[in-house]
Amino acid sequence: MCPSNQYQKVYVQGAAAISAFGMDWRGLGAAITANKITLSPARQLADSHGSVFGSEVAAIPAAIDVDARACKLMSYPARLNAVALRQVLYDTGWESARDEIAFYLGVGASGGSVAELTEMLRASIVDQTFTLDRFGTAGLAACNPLFAFQLMNNFTLCHGAIVHGIGGPNSAFYSRGNGTVAALSEAMHVVASGECGRALAGGADSALHPVTWAQLCRDGYVDQGFIPGEGAGLLALSRESTHALAELSRCEFHSAITLRAGAARLLSDIFQDFKPNVDDRVLFSAWGEPSREMLLHACNESGVSTVIDIAACLGDALAAAPALAWVAALDLVVTGNASRALVLNAGIDGGLGCVVLRRVV
Amino acid sequence: MTTAVISGVGVVSAFGVGAANLFDGLANARSAVRLIRSFDVSHFPTRVAGEVDVAAIERHWIMQHVGTINADTTVLDEFESIGAWRDRKIVFGLLAAMEAWRTAHCGIAEQEAGLVMALGLEQAFLEDFAPFFNDKGIDWQAEQAVRSTGFRYRSDVDLTAQLLSRLLDLTGPTIVNASACAAGGLAIAQAASLIERDAASIVLCGGADSMVNPLGIGGMTRLGAPSPRCELDACRPFDRRRDGLVIGEGAAMFVVEAEQRALNRGVKPLARILGYGSSQDAYRVTAPRPDGAAARKAMQSALKRARLDCSAVGYINAHGTGTLLNDAAEARVIRDLFGAHADRLPVSSIKGAIGHLMAASGAIELAACLLPLQRNILPGTAHHQQKDPHCAINVIGEQPREEKVDVILSNSFGFGGQNVSVILGRYP
């Protein structure tokens, strides 16, 4: 367990969410609560896998998109993150001294262009046989030299940081759930301890990349009810309570092994500590029925009758899933629909994340 | 504040399996860069690497090197059944972790440990697409019809961490740092941070990576990063004739724990982690910021956290990739930050000897920093023969230097612009 920090209080100053709901985070929680976001056949998988229902981001408006030249070098999650960064910086008004802002991000698998991959394979495969001599002589020459490097996982963070000049302490955590909570935990720590005045944290990812989807199918997640999603979610943190949207009062994550050893007790402890009231909300982002049932059971045991299931609306956006859930929770807190929001995530990594946002009094 | 110390270390490098092999290789001024043997490179423009001496990894090779495992090894069978050894970094991480665990005398009481691992990008298996590839491209329908299990197309980034946490039954927080060449240093910094803020009392941490594979070598070559010369001295850090890096592979793992915890169980620490700092260039993904401002900030931040003045630093283990831009930028920053002290401050890079281990580079270079602290030997810079006026710092040449230093700074600057500096101190 990674306990909450004991230093100064940490506040949320702004947020961003790029999701199937749209390019704005305000209204996301309400839309999910009202079941206004529906799954639809994923365009990105139509050519490769036919009709797969998922939660897909609509076309990004040119006014907020990264410019075409930068876009060409980015994986799709990197582009989503760059757009989310633009939005959160606008939301907070953080215009100055961006080189001091810390940035921690949950990132997913590599997500290069399938068209580039196809060209490389076409030059390397003859009669369904891949050979190193063809790859070495022709395959490598057939693709954009940056192909392999737009794939680097940390570039999801770095492209955005470059576009927007974010230069403080930073790390990219590989995430299929908990890595993104680790990112928020680090951001919370550097702010709470006074190491940084401001920090950004969240996740960006897509489960709708054909190779990622093929792997999720092969690994059995799809058979167990995995709904693909995508997006980017960011929270902006500082110790400044003026104009704060909410207080980030808890952030912790537990490994799959800890969970296997006693999920019921762990969840019971979390709820006992949270002590849900009638004007609090519990949101969860869990993949598959077993995780969903585990969280529902814990909610029932604690007397929580209504839970908001993020994955039912937004699918599982892998590294982005917890972050989108936090932002939805923030929306509920800000609009007065909740005094506090407890967000639980159980990603395909088997871990458990727990975040609490509290209305600023 | 709780002090974080290193109480165990494990290494896999081109010098062989085991930290002693790395220390011996560096202490004896050897270079382990060689012609790649693990796959046929005859049609590749780059044919040398700091390659670990094993072709196709099999279970008997793992068991030969792993030593005694006081744990249920069923998980190894499971990983073997999915073809996990195809991704070499998984095995390197396993071997290094087991050595670190063993040398730190860890047992059941240490299963509360957290795990912070720096891991490189997925290894791509392009040959897996071949059975489904036709004139129109990848036939995804045919791909779906085949229900074989195991690795396909690319390995998951976090498999090494999954393997270690399950094998050792670690119950602490598990974090996978995917920050490219800065990841190794960041992982150790984060482990120290977890200790300092009492979020963990012990952490198994470090990095593992291998880009010694067709797409890794080929992609880097297309980017122009490796030296175009396929010679054993291809990487010449800070040398006037330098023309690129050499790719390496391997792992370095550490047990980092609270000082008092180590002492309570009778383990003498190998070093103290005094400070660390990170920054982001926010410039370009494949080139360092020319003014080095962000790299300087990372070093300053590490010094500030360590509460040390520049003059306290006795040796710098540089990122020193052997590329034209990186070495010049790093040298400029060291000169600017350390001022007159830079004239006598020894600096070296071990990348000429073992290659650039990418996500594991920061970790293995911190392991190399234990050589001065344990044996009073500063590693040399393999193949550095001609000084470059654009790198006006005190670079140690090919021969290691006998000198006792108490404070060491290690730099890692990554693709994407992420920078990290870590400061180690001698344990009395």
Residues A234-254 have pLDDT tens digits of: 999 999 999 999 999 999 999
Chain A contact set for B156 (CB, 8 A): 109, 215
pLDDT of residue A5: 44
Q: Which of B39, B197, B222 sits opposite A145 (nearest CB)?
A: B222
Contact B129 A125 (CB under 8 A): yes
The residue extents of the domains of chain A are: 10-113+146-238, 246-358
A44 touches chain B (CB under 8 A): no
A124 touches chain B (CB under 8 A): yes
Chain B contact set for A153 (CB, 8 A): 121-122, 157, 178, 180
- Tokens for B292? 């080095």
Q: Rounded to an integer, what distance in angstroms lies between the CA atom of residue B182 and that of residue B421?
A: 9
Among B389, B300, B394, which Cα is nearest to B347's? B394
Q: Rounded to an integer, what distance in angstroms lies between the CA atom of residue A200 and that of residue A104?
A: 6
The amino acid sitting at B37 is: R
Contact B153 A148 (CB under 8 A): no
- Tokens for A143? 């693709």
pLDDT of residue A257: 86
Q: Rounded to an integer, what distance in angstroms lies between the CA atom of residue A131 and that of residue B214?
A: 10
B47 touches chain A (CB under 8 A): no
Do B92 and B248 form a contact (C-beta atoms < 8 A)?
no
Q: Which of residues 350-389 of B touch A (CB under 8 A)?
A: none
Chain A contact set for B178 (CB, 8 A): 107, 153-154, 172-174
**Helix, strand, coil distribution of chain B in percent, nearest 5:** 40, 25, 40
Helix (H) or strand (E) holding B196: helix B183-196
Q: Which of B44, B173, B190 sits opposite A136 (nearest CB)?
A: B44
Among B381, B390, B397, which Cα is nearest to B326's? B390
Average pLDDT over residues B268-295: 95
B243 touches chain A (CB under 8 A): no
Chain B contact set for A351 (CB, 8 A): 174
* End-to-end alpha carbon distance in chain A: 29
Q: Residue B358: closest CA among chain A residues belongs to which residue?
A: A152
pLDDT of residue A148: 65
Do A295 and A267 form a contact (C-beta atoms < 8 A)?
yes
Cα distance from B100 to chain A (closest Cα, Å)? Answer: 21
Strand ranges in B161-280 using DSSP code E only, listed in sequence order: 174-177, 202-210, 249-258, 271-280
Do B213 and B123 form a contact (C-beta atoms < 8 A)?
yes
Q: Rounded to an integer, what distance in angstroms lies between the CA atom of residue A241 and that of residue A101?
A: 17
Q: A246-358 is classed in which CATH architecture?
A: 3-Layer(aba) Sandwich (3.40)
Q: Rounded to an integer, what distance in angstroms lies between the CA atom of residue A10 and that of residue B198?
A: 19
**At what angle are helices A288-301 and A256-274 packed, to 10 degrees?**
30
Q: Residue A111: closest CA among chain B residues belongs to which residue?
A: B122
Give the confidence band of A224 by pLDDT, cuts at 50, 70, 90: confident
Q: Check pLDDT > 80 for residue A53.
A: yes
B357-407 tens-digit pLDDT: 999 999 999 999 999 999 999 999 999 999 999 999 999 999 999 999 999
pLDDT of residue A73: 85
Q: What percent of chain A has pLDDT over 70?
A: 97
Q: Rounded to an integer, what distance in angstroms lies between the CA atom of residue A264 and that of residue B184?
A: 35
Beta-strand pair B315-317/B407-413: parallel
Beta-strand pair B401-402/B377-378: antiparallel
> Is the model more confident about A252 or about B72?
A252
pLDDT of residue A149: 62
Q: What is the DSSP string of B99-158?
A: HHHHHTT--GGGGG-EEEEEE-PPPB-GGGGGGGEETTEE-HHHHHH----S--SB--TT
Contact A145 B176 (CB under 8 A): no
Within this chain, domains A10-113+146-238 and A246-358 share the same CATH topology: yes
Cα distance from B159 to chain A (closest Cα, Å)? Answer: 11
A34's torsion region: left (phi>0), alpha (psi -120 to 50) or beta? alpha
Q: What is the 3-state secondary structure (H, E, C) of B223-249?
A: HCCECCCCCCCCCCCCECCCCCECEEE
Q: Which of B165, B282, B414 sits opposite A257 (nearest CB)?
A: B165
- Tokens for B45? 């423009």
Q: What angle do CA A114, A115, A118 make, to 5 degrees?
A: 85
- Tokens for A88? 């959160």
Average pLDDT over residues B152-176: 93
B170 touches chain A (CB under 8 A): yes
Q: Rounded to an integer, what distance in angstroms lies between the CA atom of residue A246 and that of residue B375?
A: 53
Chain B contact set for A257 (CB, 8 A): 165-166, 169-171
Q: Check pLDDT > 90 for residue A274.
A: yes
CA dihedral A320, A322, A325, A329 (to 10 degrees): -130
B293-349 tens-digit pLDDT: 999 999 999 999 999 999 999 999 999 999 999 999 999 999 999 999 999 999 999
A104 touches chain B (CB under 8 A): no
CA dihedral B274, B279, B284, B289 (to 10 degrees): -70
A313-361 tens-digit pLDDT: 999 999 999 999 999 999 999 998 899 999 999 988 889 999 999 999 8
Q: What percent of chain B has pLDDT over 70?
A: 99
Among B203, B198, B189, which Cα is nearest to B254's? B203
pLDDT of residue A150: 65
A160 touches chain B (CB under 8 A): no
Q: Check pLDDT > 60 for residue A6.
A: no
pLDDT of residue A305: 83
A179 touches chain B (CB under 8 A): yes
Buried b (16+ CB within 10 A) or exposed e, B23-62: bebbbeeebbbeebebeebebbebbbbbbbebeebeeebb
Mean pLDDT check: name the lowest of A222-231, B111-120, B400-409.
A222-231
Cα distance from B145 to chain A (closest Cα, Å)? Answer: 10
**At what angle are helices B159-168 and A256-274 packed, to 10 degrees?**
80
CATH classification number, A10-113+146-238, choose in 1.20.1640.10, 3.40.50.12780, 3.40.47.10, 3.40.50.720:
3.40.47.10
Average pLDDT over residues A185-195: 97
Contact A214 B140 (CB under 8 A): yes
Cα distance from B403 to chain A (closest Cα, Å)? Answer: 33
Among A220, A109, A76, which Cα is nearest to B124's? A109
Contact B218 A162 (CB under 8 A): no
Burial status of residue A117 (CB atoms within 10 A of its CB: 0-12, 13-18, 19 or more): buried
pLDDT of residue A2: 42
Contact B224 A145 (CB under 8 A): yes
Residue B24, classed as helix, strand or coil, is: helix
Do B417 and B294 form a contact (C-beta atoms < 8 A)?
yes
Q: Rounded to an integer, what distance in angstroms lies between the CA atom of residue B350 and that of residue B255?
A: 22
Chain A contact set for B198 (CB, 8 A): 3
Q: Residue A2: closest CA among chain B residues belongs to which residue?
A: B199
Q: Rounded to an integer, what distance in angstroms lies between the CA atom of residue B79 and that of residue B65?
A: 17
Q: Which of residues 222-241 of A touch B (CB under 8 A)?
A: none
- ipTM, two decimals: 0.97
Kindly list the catalytic residues of B.
181, 319, 356
Contact B280 A167 (CB under 8 A): yes
Q: What percent of chain B has pLDDT over 90?
A: 90
Do B28 and B398 form a contact (C-beta atoms < 8 A)?
no
Q: Rounded to an integer, what distance in angstroms lies between the CA atom of residue A129 and that of residue A143?
A: 19
> Is the model more confident about A321 or about A1?
A321
Q: Which of B133, B156, B281 sits opposite A125 (nearest CB)?
A: B133
Among A178, A343, A194, which Cα is nearest to B197's? A194
The CATH class, in words, for B4-121+157-426 is: alpha beta
pLDDT of residue A111: 76
A318's torsion region: left (phi>0), alpha (psi -120 to 50) or beta? left
A71 touches chain B (CB under 8 A): no
Q: What is the DSSP string of A148-187?
A: HHHT-TTHHHHHHHHHHT--SSEEEEE-SSHHHHHHHHHH
Beta-strand pair A246-254/A280-286: unpaired
Q: What phi and psi, each to the nearest 5 degrees, are found at residue A336?
A: 85, 5
A40 touches chain B (CB under 8 A): no
- Rounded to the nearest angstrom, the gap between the alpha carbon of residue A12 and the centroid of all alpha carbons in its chain is 17
Cα distance from A91 to chain B (closest Cα, Å)? Answer: 21
Rg for chain A, CA atoms, rounded: 20
Chain B contact set for A49 (CB, 8 A): 140, 144
B1 touches chain A (CB under 8 A): no
A192 touches chain B (CB under 8 A): no
A8 touches chain B (CB under 8 A): no
Give the confidence band of A4 by pLDDT, cuts at 50, 70, 90: very low
Q: Which of B40, B126, B130 sits opposite A128 (nearest CB)?
A: B130
List Cβ neighbours of A56 (8 Å cut-off, separation of 6 or more).
A20, A40, A42, A43, A44, A208, A229, A230
Q: Check pLDDT > 70 for residue A1.
A: no
Average pLDDT over residues A109-130: 90
Chain B contact set for A169 (CB, 8 A): 277-279, 301
**At what angle are helices B293-306 and B324-338 packed, to 10 degrees?**
50
Do A52 and A275 form a contact (C-beta atoms < 8 A)?
no
Q: Which of A3, A129, A173 sits opposite B130 (nearest CB)?
A: A129
Q: Rounded to an integer, what distance in angstroms lies between the CA atom of residue B296 and that of residue B336?
A: 9
> Is the model more confident about B213 or about A73?
B213
B118 touches chain A (CB under 8 A): no
Q: What is the DSSP string of B285-311?
A: SSS--TT-HHHHHHHHHHHHHHT--GG
Chain A contact set for B190 (CB, 8 A): 171, 186
Give the confidence band of B134 by pLDDT, cuts at 50, 70, 90: very high
pLDDT of residue A113: 84
Q: Which of B148, B175, B279 sits opposite A168 (nearest CB)?
A: B279
Which residue of B46, B174, B181 to mutate against A (max A Cβ within 10 Å)?
B174
Q: What separation in angstroms does the CA of A254 have from each of A1, A258, B382?
A: 5, 6, 44
Helix (H) or strand (E) holding B420: strand B418-426
> Is the model more confident about A184 or about A144?
A184
pLDDT of residue A182: 97
Buried b (16+ CB within 10 A) or exposed e, A157-170: bbbbbbbbebbbbb
- Tokens for B364? 């293995």
Q: Rounded to an integer, what distance in angstroms lies between the CA atom of residue B220 and that of residue A186?
A: 31
Q: Residue A258: closest CA among chain B residues belongs to which residue?
A: B171
Which residue of B128, B196, B418 to mutate against A (max A Cβ within 10 Å)?
B418
Chain B contact set for A118 (CB, 8 A): 137-138
Rg for chain B, CA atoms, rounded: 21
List Cβ neighbours of B45 (8 Å cut-off, separation of 6 or more).
A136, B221, B228, B230
Helix (H) or strand (E) holding B262: helix B259-264
Average pLDDT over residues B207-235: 94
> Mean pLDDT, chain B, as a whole number?
95
The residue extents of the domains of chain B are: 4-121+157-426
Q: What angle do CA B417, B419, B421 make, to 5 degrees?
A: 170
